[in-house]
Each structure stands twice: as C-alpha cells, then as structure tokens.
C-alpha cells in the first residue's frame, strides 16, 4: 500500500524540483555519475494518437521532459502510431498543442513510429532470417486458443516450423497484399511455455487494410505496438525509456527483440500511472463519454483531458506543480482530486485579479440613497499582490446581491442580511434591511428594501461600527449580464468503477456535474475580460471566459475551482493519497 502520509508529505514540501526526488530521478543521476550512455540523457513522450491527452499523460510529460531538462538531455515527442484504425491527425494536432501548452518544447524532435515502418520491416526480415520469427496462418481466435492461460502453458502453432525461406517468401507476400486481412501474422518464435504470456510467440505483424493518417495506403501490414515500441526507442537512441507499470510484463519481450536484433538497448523503467478520485483516465472511456454525448466533446470543461482543464481555466503552472507534488512511485495509488484543485487554487490565488459578480441575483434598493447619484469606489485588485493596483467600482441606489446572502428567517449563526439586520457591502457601506417586497401573484421575493449608513464608507473610519459579515454586490445599472457555468465532479463515486454486480462505470456519472446560471451579473470591469485570463469572483471562486461558447454579446464564464480548500483540510487530517 502506498503510504498515506507519503503523498501528503510531499505535498507540503512545496512542489519544486529541488524539494523532491524519486527513484527514476535517482536512477538517471546515478547513470550519469557512472558515465553510462556516454553521459547522455535522452527520454521521449510516446503517445498513441488515438485520443486527447489527459492529466495522467501530464504526469508522464512532466517526468520525461522534466528529467531531460534537469539533466541537460533531450526529450523526443514520438507518436506511436501503429494502429491506423483508431488513430487520427485530429489527435496528433491536439497532442502537440497540449504538450506545448504544458510548457514543453521538442524542437526538431517530432517523430512517428510510422516513419520507421520500413526499418521495422527490415528488423522483422532480420528476425525471420535468424529463424526467430515465422508466418502463422492461425486466425486471431485460434491464436488465443493456442496461447494457453496464466496457469497452463500454450501450444506451438502448427506453422511454427516453417522453413526460413518459406517465411521470407510469405512475409514479403503479406506486404505485397496477397492475403486477406487477419489471415496471416508474423510471430516471434520465443517460448509457448513461458510463464510470461507476452513471450508466447507474440504477434509482430498483422494484415490490415486501413488508411494510415500519415503513411496513407503504402502498407497493408502493420507492426504491433509491442514490436514497434522498443525498436522505435532504440532507433532514436533513447537512454531511459520510461513507461507505466502495465508494461513491466512486456519488458522481457522488448529486451528479447533488442537483443536478438543486436541494436541499441534503452533501459526501460516503469512507474505507477496517475489515478484520480472521481475521474476516469482511460482514452477508451473518455472516447465513450464523447461519442455517447455524456459531455460536449474532448474539451468539455468537466473532462480530465488537458483540453478540458485548459478550457476550465486550470493553468499549466498548476498542473506542473501538481505533477511534481504527487511524486513518482512504483506502486499504484489514487490521488485525491482535491489535491489537483488545491494546486489550481494556489496558482490562481497569486495571479487572478479580484472582481465582484453575483451569480444568483436578488435586487436591493437603498431607499435613502439619491436616485441619480453614482459613486466610484476603490477596490483592491489583489491583496496578494499590491502591484496589481486598484480599480473603481460603481455604486448606486439599486444593487444586486447574492440570493444566498439574504434569509428572511435567519437560522442561528447567519450573520448576513435579514430583515432588521445589517451587513457590510464590500468596499462600500453598511446597509440595513427594512423591508421585503413580493410579487403579488407568486409571493416570490422581488426586491429587498434597505437603507445605507453614509457614515460607514469603507476606508473612512469615522463610524467605527462593525458588523459581522461583508458581502459582495454589483450596481444594477452598471453590471453586465453573463452566464456562469459551475462544475462538479463528473463521477459521484470516488472510484467510478465501483458498481454493483452487472453494472458499469457509466452508472456513476454525476447528473449534476454542470449547473448553468443564465442571469448572473458581473461588475463592468469584466467587460474587457479576455480568454485565457483568470479572475477571482470574490467569495465564489476562480473563473475564466469559456473559450468556445463565450462571445462579446453573451459572456460565459466557467468556474475553474471554488475557494473552499478541501485538500488543506485533508492534509491537516494526515490523509493524502488513498491506496489503490
């Protein structure tokens, strides 16, 4: 089990590279010290372009690009594009955009496994010639039957003893397009009795007529991921081939290919993939959410994709910091999503100017405030950063406040506005509620009648009067109308896969993950809001313009994260990562 305090401890250590280390960093440092690889450090990030990148990939990106940067090495971006039926340029483009956005550069080193198809083919020929590979006529189902199980050895394919010449001839004809899809494969000749199923004569090539997003129709045979991945690393001179734990059992196979071929042998190191509570991190499942319309697209702000969280308003700095804090370990664990939110909040707190916005407005009329008077009040842009200065906020007779900040019958401990009670308006005055006006037809509250105390203007301390609560507001005549979208986790359960027998993960989708408030009011300062800028709406959270749906005519804001820091509480309680 992952130690619970392990992650929490690292969390408090502040996520700078200097503060933390992990076993992969130690291996690389040690290799350098010993002069291994002639002092080179060369890593790669190898996505398959079959979906958008998610926050789990960010962990891998930060690790690979981060180590290269730290040790003066290089990191390649390589697309492992060996499966044309699932891959697409849309994904290639999105991956490049996302890696760049995270803050990493690959220079000229953008590679594609598909560019190695000819070399991989020659590697296959080499293995056939040394009688280490054979053409097999079993179909997929028969191959499965012959493979055996975890407790039973497999059986040799009846085609295993084909002569080298026949194999060469058949393999060339496979390439030449003589055989139908799925009718023949090229398989490595290893050991059908190996306790490691990956070693039981795995398939290296399959016949598949599919147009490749780069290679077009040049090929009708495609290498498997297992045959392409290690050789691609070798071709690129990768020194440390860092991958997630599920490839540990594939390592003996990758080693076998490299050794049989006698080519450069990168060192594979496995680490635990990132898992997050309330989140699925599998491209297959994310694709399903998109295709079945559970979300509006790969960049839906509720998605854990980099495109989604960018649109949501998360910053690359926050994500890099998060990836540093969660550390890198060999054992899998589940990170509390509150920790990610904590990192976002921490970053936005430093950079986001404060503004006032009222999400669910209720009208307030100040009976003793002159009808036509408008005051320009001074408001601080960011108490964390005096350099961000101040701005003017218009104040007038008719205002909006948050419905939540008024209670007609206040429960004990409610110190905000209620009939006969006072509250301070931020940057303005103390007001008192002197009446409630209702819609005669529905009985719903239409407006609050209030008075203000002119002696209590913020900054002029004549009155010295104190009230227990300060609330935000906007001037009705000056405020702009906007839509605000509030988000909650996409899955109600911490573990979306936790379902009763016969159920599936889609049952755990949160039906209330999106709330759209269509008549919010925002202070006029936000008229100049730009996509990519973040704002703290005082008392409500951090918000940004929606990059897709917002327009100058109808501004739409996404809430990136609330102000409530559940992670800080969790950390205090000594609970960091849950064991997975």
Contact (CB, 8 A) for 524 and 338: no
What tokens appear for 53 in the block? 């990148």
CB of 300 to ligand ATP, least distance (A): 17
* Binding test (CB under 6 A) with ligand ATP, winner from 200, 265, 273, 342: 273
Binding mask 198-237 for ligand ATP (x = CB under 6 A): ----------------------------------------
91, HSE (Cβ side, Cα atoms, 13 Å): 21
All residues at 6 or more sequence positions from 548 whose CB lies less than 8 Å from its CB, including other chains: 299, 311
What does the alpha-carbon distance between residue 421 and residue 425 come to, in Å, rounded to a whole number?
13
Under rule CB under 6 A, residue 301 binds ligand ATP: no
Under rule CB under 6 A, residue 42 binds ligand ATP: no
* Binding test (CB under 6 A) with ligand ATP, winner from 5, 198, 244, 260: 244
Bridge partners of 203, per DSSP, are 187
Residue 408 annotated to the active site: no
Question: What separation in angstroms does the CA of 361 have from each of 97, 217, 418, 479?
Answer: 38, 59, 16, 11
Which residue, 61 or 450, is less far from ligand ATP as judged by CB? 61
* Binding test (CB under 6 A) with ligand ATP, winner from 170, 274, 339, 358: 274
Which of the stretches 12-20, 52-60, 70-78, 173-181 binds ligand ATP when contact is defined by CB under 6 A?
Answer: 52-60
Under rule CB under 6 A, residue 239 binds ligand ATP: no
Number of Cβ atoms within 10 Å of the Cβ of 441? 6
Helix (H) or strand (E) run with residue 471 in it: strand 470-471
Catalytic choice (214, 283, 312, 391)? 283
CB of 204 to ligand ATP, least distance (A): 19
Question: What separation in angstroms does the CA of 193 have from each of 141, 202, 251, 306, 571?
Answer: 19, 12, 17, 43, 49
Which of the stretches 278-286, 367-375, 444-452, 535-543 binds ligand ATP when contact is defined by CB under 6 A?
Answer: 278-286
Which of the stretches 193-201, 231-239, 281-289, 381-389 binds ligand ATP when contact is defined by CB under 6 A?
Answer: 281-289
Contact (CB, 8 A) for 535 and 518: no
CB of 555 to ligand ATP, least distance (A): 34
Question: 525: closest CA among 353, 409, 410, 375?
Answer: 353
Which residue, 205 or 247, is less far from ligand ATP as judged by CB? 247
Under rule CB under 6 A, residue 56 binds ligand ATP: yes
- Name the E strands within 39-183: 42-45, 74-79, 110-112, 133-136
What does the alpha-carbon distance between residue 365 and residue 251 come to, in Å, rounded to a whole number?
72
Contact (CB, 8 A) for 254 and 270: no
**Long-range contacts of the stretch 118-125 (C-beta < 8 A, 24+):** 119/231, 119/235, 120/223, 120/227, 120/228, 120/231, 120/232, 121/175, 121/223, 123/231, 123/257, 123/261, 123/263, 124/171, 124/186, 124/204, 124/205, 124/223, 124/227, 125/168, 125/171
Which of the stretches 53-61, 157-165, 343-351, 393-401 binds ligand ATP when contact is defined by CB under 6 A?
Answer: 53-61
What residue has token string 């059992």?
Answer: 249
Buried b (16+ CB within 10 A) or exposed e, 140-149: eeebeebbbe
Which of the stretches 46-54, 255-263, 306-314, 370-378 binds ligand ATP when contact is defined by CB under 6 A?
Answer: 46-54
Overall residue count recorded for the chain in this entry: 580
What does the alpha-carbon distance between residue 178 and residue 119 come to, in Å, rounded to a whole number?
21
Question: What separation in angstroms does the CA of 482 have from each of 294, 378, 383, 553?
Answer: 25, 23, 25, 9
SS3 content of the chain, % helix, strand, coil (to 5): 35, 25, 45
* Binding test (CB under 6 A) with ligand ATP, winner from 37, 60, 167, 232: 60
* Binding test (CB under 6 A) with ligand ATP, winner from 12, 183, 282, 518: 282
Under rule CB under 6 A, residue 57 binds ligand ATP: yes
Question: 142: closest CA among 190, 203, 82?
Answer: 203
* Binding test (CB under 6 A) with ligand ATP, winner from 28, 221, 243, 303: 243
Which of the stretches 43-51, 468-476, 549-557, 571-579 binds ligand ATP when contact is defined by CB under 6 A?
Answer: 43-51
Which residue, 265 or 283, is less far from ligand ATP as judged by CB? 283
Which of the stretches 42-50, 154-162, 181-189, 444-452 binds ligand ATP when contact is defined by CB under 6 A?
Answer: 42-50
Catalytic choice (184, 273, 311, 424)? 273
Residue nearest ligand ATP by beta-carbon distance: 56
Q: What sign does the dihedral 265-270-274-280 (CA atoms) show?
A: positive
CB of 513 to ligand ATP, least distance (A): 20
Under rule CB under 6 A, residue 325 binds ligand ATP: no
Contact (CB, 8 A) for 53 and 94: yes
Catalytic choice (2, 10, 44, 48)? 48
Residue 285 annotated to the active site: no
* Binding test (CB under 6 A) with ligand ATP, winner from 175, 212, 251, 283: 283
Under rule CB under 6 A, residue 48 binds ligand ATP: yes
Residue 572 annotated to the active site: no
All residues at 6 or more sequence positions from 477 whose CB lies less than 8 Å from its CB, including other chains: 374, 394, 396, 398
* Binding test (CB under 6 A) with ligand ATP, winner from 281, 339, 474, 545: 281
Which residue, 81 or 201, is less far from ligand ATP as judged by CB? 81
CB of 45 to ligand ATP, least distance (A): 6
CB of 44 to ligand ATP, least distance (A): 9
Number of residues that bind ligand ATP (CB under 6 A): 15
Which residue, 63 or 138, is less far from ligand ATP as judged by CB? 63
- Residues carrying an active site annotation: 48, 273, 283
Which residues contribute to the site for ligand ATP (CB under 6 A)?
46-48, 56-57, 59-60, 243-244, 273-274, 281-284
């Amino acid at each position: 089990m992952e130690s619970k305090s392990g992650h929490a401890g690292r969390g408090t250590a502040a996520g700078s590279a200097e503060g933390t280390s992990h076993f992969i960093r130690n291996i690389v440092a040690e290799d350098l010290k010993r002069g291994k690889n002639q002092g080179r450090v060369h890593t790669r990030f190898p996505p398959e372009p079959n979906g958008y990148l998610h926050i789990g990939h960010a962990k891998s990106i930060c690790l690979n690009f981060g180590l290269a940067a730290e040790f003066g090495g290089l990191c390649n971006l390589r697309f492992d594009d060996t499966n044309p039926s699932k891959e697409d340029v849309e994904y290639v483009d999105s991956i490049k955009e996302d890696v760049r956005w995270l803050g990493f550069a690959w220079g000229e080193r953008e590679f594609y496994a598909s560019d190695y198809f000819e070399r991989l083919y020659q590697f296959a020929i080499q293995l056939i010639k040394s009688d280490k590979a054979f053409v097999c006529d079993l179909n997929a189902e028969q191959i499965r039957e012959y493979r055996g199980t975890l407790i039973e050895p497999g059986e040799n394919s009846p085609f295993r003893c084909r002569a080298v010449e026949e194999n060469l001839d058949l393999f060339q004809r496979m390439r030449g397009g003589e055989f139908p899809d799925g009718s023949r494969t090229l398989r490595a000749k290893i050991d059908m009795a190996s306790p490691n199923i990956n070693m039981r004569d795995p398939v290296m090539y399959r016949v598949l007529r599919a147009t490749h997003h780069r290679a077009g129709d040049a090929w009708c045979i495609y290498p498997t991921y297992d045959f392409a991945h290690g050789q691609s690393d070798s071709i690129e001179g990768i020194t440390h081939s860092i991958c997630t734990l599920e490839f540990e059992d594939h390592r003996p196979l990758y080693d076998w290919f490299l050794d049989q071929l006698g080519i450069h042998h990168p060192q594979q190191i496995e680490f635990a993939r990132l898992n997050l509570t309330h989140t699925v991190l599998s491209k297959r499942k994310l694709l399903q959410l998109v295709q079945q319309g559970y979300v509006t697209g790969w960049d839906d702000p509720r998605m854990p994709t980099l495109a989604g969280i960018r649109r949501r308003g998360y910053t690359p700095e926050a994500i890099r910091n998060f990836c540093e804090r969660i550390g890198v370990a060999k054992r899998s664990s589940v990170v509390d999503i509150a920790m990610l939110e904590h990192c976002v909040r921490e970053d936005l707190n430093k950079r986001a100017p404060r503004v006032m916005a009222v999400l669910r407005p209720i009208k307030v009329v100040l009976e003793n405030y002159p009808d036509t008077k408008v005051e320009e009040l001074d408001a601080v842009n960011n108490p964390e950063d005096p350099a961000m200065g101040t701005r003017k906020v218009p104040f007038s007779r008719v205002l909006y406040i948050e419905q939540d900040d008024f209670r007609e019958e206040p429960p004990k401990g409610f110190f905000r506005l209620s009939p006969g009670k006072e509250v301070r308006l931020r940057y303005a005055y103390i007001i008192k509620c002197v009446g409630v006006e209702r819609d005669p037809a529905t009985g719903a509250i239409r407006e609050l009648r209030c008075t203000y105390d002119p002696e209590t203007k913020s900054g002029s301390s004549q009155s010295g009067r104190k009230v227990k609560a300060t609330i935000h507001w906007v001037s009705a005549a000056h405020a702009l109308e906007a839509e605000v979208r509030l988000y909650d986790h996409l899955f109600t359960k911490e573990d979306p896969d936790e379902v009763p027998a016969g159920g599936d993960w889609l049952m755990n989708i949160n039906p209330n993950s999106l709330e759209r408030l269509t008549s919010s009011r925002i202070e006029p300062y936000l008229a100049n809001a730009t996509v990519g800028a973040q704002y703290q709406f005082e008392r409500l959270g951090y918000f940004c313009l929606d990059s897709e749906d917002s327009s100058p005519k109808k501004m739409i804001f996404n809430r990136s994260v609330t102000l409530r820091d559940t992670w800080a509480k969790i950390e205090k309680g000594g609970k960091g990562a849950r064991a997975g």
